[in-house]
Chain A
Amino acid sequence: MLLKKSAQRAAGLLFFTLILLFLICASIVFGYTNTSWKMAVDSFLAYNGSNEHIILQTVRLPRALIAASVGASLAVAGVIMQTLTKNPLASPSVFGINAGAGFAVVLAVTLFSVNSLTAYSWLAFTGAAAASFGVYAIGSLGREGLTPMKLTLAGAAVAALFSSLTQGLLVLNEAALDQVLFWLAGSVQGRKLEMLKSVFPYLAAGWILSFVLAGKLNLLSMGDDVARGLGVQVGLVKGIAALSVILLAGGAVAVSGPIAFVGIIIPHITRAIAGIDHRWVIPYSAVMGAILLLLADIAARYIIMPQEVPVGVMTALIGTPFFIFIARKGFNSK
C-alpha cells in the first residue's frame, strides 16, 4: 500500500476529492459544442436561454452528475461484493445485477414494446433486485447460511442463466436488438436529470449503509467465526451488506445500463493505495470510481469525434494500464 499513516490517507482522500470536483467541472465544460468556463459559470448565475446555456444545463450537467454518482456507486458495491464473497474476482455482476437488469429490459422491449429510457430504468432496477434476491436466497440455502463459496457459485450460475436468456430473446427478435443495443452497451449519455433524481435516494441510502457497515466489514473479512467471536451478528451484517449492493449497483444499472470494470477494478486499485481498512477503502473507492467514470466519459467524447465511444469501453482503455501497473507493483511489495 502506498499511504500508510492516517494523516497521509486523509490528505490523499482530500487530494482525490479535489480532482473529482475539477473533473465534474471539466465534464460540464468540454465537449462537441464549444463552451468556455465563463459560459458555464454564467449558465448557473445568469441563464440566458442561448444554445450553449441550454446544452450546459440540460445535457452536460446531468451527464457529469450521473457519471460521478454511478462511478462511485459501482466502486463501493464492488468493494462490498469482494468482501462478502471473499473473492478478489467478485463484482456486482456476480450478484446477477447486470444480467437481471438486462433481461428485464429486453423482455419488456420484446413483449410489451416499451421504449422510454425512464421505463428502462425502473425495469432494470426491478430485474436487478429480483436477480440478486434470487442469488442471495440460493446462496443462503443449507445449514451454514450464506457462505462465500455458495454465494459465488449461485451468482455465477444465475448470471449466466439470465444473460443467456437475454441473448436468446435478442437472437429471436432483431428489432429489439437495435432498440436496446445502446442501452446494453452502458452509457451515461442522453440521460435526464430526473432519472438520477428518482434513483438518487437509493444510491444515497446505499452509500450511507456501506459507510456505517465499514467497521463490521473489517471484522467480517477475517472470517465468519472470528467475526462471530468478536460479537458481530454475521447474518444480519451480510444481509445489510447485500442490501446495499442491490441499492448501489441496481440504482447504477438503472440509470446507465451495465457498465463493467469499475466495480471489479477500483477496489483493487484502492486497496493498493490505502490498505485494507474498509473505513478508508469505501470512501476512497467512491471517489476513485467517480473519477474513473468521469475521465472515461470525457475521453469518450473526443476519441472518434463527432461519434461517441461507449463509456464502458473507455473505462477499460483508461483503467487497464493503470490497473496492471498497480497489480504488479502491489504484489511485488508483498
Chain B
Amino acid sequence: MREKKYSSVRVLKGTVSFLIDRKALLTLITLGLTAVLLFLFSTGVGQMYISPWNVLKALTGAGSSFEETVIFSLRLPRILTALFVGIALAVAGGILQGMIRNPLASPDIIGLTNGASLAVVSFLAVFSDSDNSLTVSIGWLPAAAFLGASATAFIVYLLSWNNGMSPVRLVLIGIGISTLLQAGTTLMMILGPIYRASQANIWITGSVNGSKWMDVQILVPVVVVLVLAAITQARNINVQELGEDAAASAGSRIQVQRMIMLLVSTALTGTAVAFAGGIGFVGLMAPHIARRLVGGAYGALLPVAAVTGAILVLAADLIGRTLFAPLEIPAGVFTASIGAPYFIYLLYKTRNSQ
C-alpha cells in the first residue's frame, strides 16, 4: 500500500474528531459524481428520452409538467430502488467480510438470500388458488421475503451459538442451511404450479422492475438508518478484522459487536432482497472493488463500497431495460457482467501489492 495522507477534522471543539484519508475522499467524490451522472442519465432513458439537463430541471421543479409526470410517477421509484438496493447490498457484504474475515463471505453465503427466496416461492405456492391467481395481495411479498431472511439469520445464529459465536462456525452452518433452503426452493418449484415457477424465477434473479413510491418510502429511510449504523461500526470492524484475540485485548466487546454487525447486515440484506429479489454479486464484490480502490480501513471502505454498489445496480438496471428493449432483462443478470470484468482489471492492476 502507498503511504497515506490524512487530514484531521475536528468538530464541536474536538468532541468529535477523525482523520480523513485524502485519496479515499477523492475516490469517493469521483465515484459519487459518477453515480449522480448515471442517476440523471438513467432517469432520462426510456421509451421517451429526456436529456440529463431536463431531468435535473424536472427534479428541481423547473421542467415541463409532462416530463415531470413521466419522471416522478414512472421512472424515479424504480431508479431510487436500484440505487438504495445497491447501497444496502454492498454495505451488508462489506460488514460480513470484515466480521467473518473471509473474502468469500457475502449475504448469499450464509443463506439470507436463500431464506428470502424460499419464503417468496412458498408464498406464491401457498397463496395461489386453482386458477393460478393469488388469494392475497402481492404487496405482502416483500414482507414474506424479509421474514424469510430474518428467520434464516436467526436460525443460523442460534445453531452456531456455542459459548459465543465463532465466525467460522457461523459460515459453515450458514452454508449448510443455505443449501438446505435452496433445496427447499427447488422442491417447491417442482411441486408448485408451473406458472408460479417462472414468476418466482424472475424474482430470484433479482429485478427492480415495477417498484412503486410506496416501496421507496419504506426502503430509503430504512437503508439510510442502517447504513449510518454500519458506519458507526466501522472502527469496530477494523478491530475485529485483526482477529478475535487482538480485538479482545484492544478492549472490544466481541460478541456484542458481532451481534450488532450481524443484525445490521441482515436487516440491510433483508430489505434489499424484499424489494429487488436476489441480486447477486453486489454484496460479494462491491466491497472487494472498494478495498482495491481505497484499502482496507472500514471508515473509507464502507462509503466507497456503498457508492460502488449503487453504481453497479443502477448500471445493470439501465442495461437490462435498454439493451433488448422492449424486452426487460432482470438487473441481477447484469450486475456481474459489468462488475466482474472491472474487478478482474483491478485484480490485474494491483497484482503485486498485497
Contact = CB atoms under 8 A, between A and B. Distances in A.
A160 B104 contact: no
Contacts of A156: 103-104, 284-285
A324 B281 contact: no
Interface string B144-186: 0000000000000001101000101101110111011011001
**Counting chain B CB atoms within 10 Å of each CB, which of A147, A154, A314 scores highest?**
A154
B277 interface: no
Interface in A246-268: 260-261, 264-265, 268
B126 interface: no
A273 interface: no
Nearest to B289: A157
B280 A164 contact: yes
A158 B175 CA distance: 21
A276 interface: no
Contacts of A143: 351-352
Contacts of A323: 172, 176
A304 interface: yes
Contact of B284 (A154, A160, A268): A160
B103 A141 contact: no
Interface residues of B, number: 51
Interface string B313-354: 000000000001001011011111101110110011001101
Interface stretch (A13-21, A48-56, A86-94, A197-205): A86-94
A153 interface: yes
Contact of A171 (B333, B340, B347): B333
A328 B177 CA distance: 13
Contacts of B351: 141-143, 150
Nearest to A324: B176
B58 interface: no
B12 to A, nearest CB: 41
Contacts of A157: 285, 339-340, 343-344, 347
A172 interface: yes
A78 to B, nearest CB: 12
Nearest to A85: B104
Given A142-B351, A144-B354, A88 B171 contact: yes
B55 interface: no
A58 interface: no
B75 interface: no
Contacts of A88: 168, 171-172
B9 interface: no
A261 B332 CA distance: 23
Interface SS of B by simple majority: helix
Interface string B271-282: 000000000110
A243 interface: no
Contacts of A316: 179-180, 182-183
Contacts of A312: 183, 186
A320 B190 CA distance: 20
Nearest to B281: A160
A144 B171 CA distance: 29
A314 B352 CA distance: 44
Contacts of A304: 190-191
A157 B106 CA distance: 13
B258 interface: no
Contacts of B171: 88-89
A173 to B, nearest CB: 11
Given A156-B285, A171-B330, A328 B169 contact: yes
Interface SS of A by simple majority: helix
B335 A164 contact: yes
A163 interface: yes
B158 to A, nearest CB: 11
A119 interface: no
B340 A261 contact: no
Interface string B283-302: 01100100000000000000
Contact of A161 (B169, B205, B327, B336): B336
A130 interface: no
A144 B351 CA distance: 9
A150 B103 CA distance: 10
A313 B102 CA distance: 27
Interface in A229-243: none
Contacts of B162: 328, 331-332
B159 A324 contact: yes
A94 B104 contact: yes
B261 interface: no
A36 interface: no
Contacts of A164: 280-281, 332-337, 340
A147 B347 CA distance: 12
A266 B204 CA distance: 27
Interface string A137-169: 010011110010110111011101101110110
B218 interface: no
B242 interface: no
Contacts of B180: 316-317, 320
Interface of B: 102-105, 109, 159-160, 162, 166, 168-169, 171-173, 175-177, 179-180, 182-183, 186-187, 190-191, 205, 280-281, 284-285, 288, 324, 327, 329-330, 332-337, 339-341, 343-344, 347-348, 351-352, 354
29 contacts: A87-B102, A88-B171, A138-B348, A142-B351, A152-B104, A156-B104, A156-B285, A160-B340, A161-B336, A161-B341, A164-B332, A164-B334, A164-B335, A164-B336, A168-B329, A171-B333, A172-B324, A185-B186, A304-B190, A312-B183, A312-B186, A317-B180, A320-B176, A324-B159, A327-B160, A327-B169, A327-B176, A328-B173, A331-B169
Given A157-B285, A163-B336, A331-B166, 20 more contacts: A141-B347, A142-B351, A144-B352, A144-B354, A160-B284, A160-B285, A161-B336, A164-B333, A167-B332, A264-B175, A265-B179, A316-B179, A320-B177, A320-B180, A324-B159, A324-B176, A327-B173, A328-B159, A328-B160, A331-B162
Chain A to chain B: the 3 pairs with minimum beta-carbon distance, closest first: A142-B351, A164-B336, A161-B340
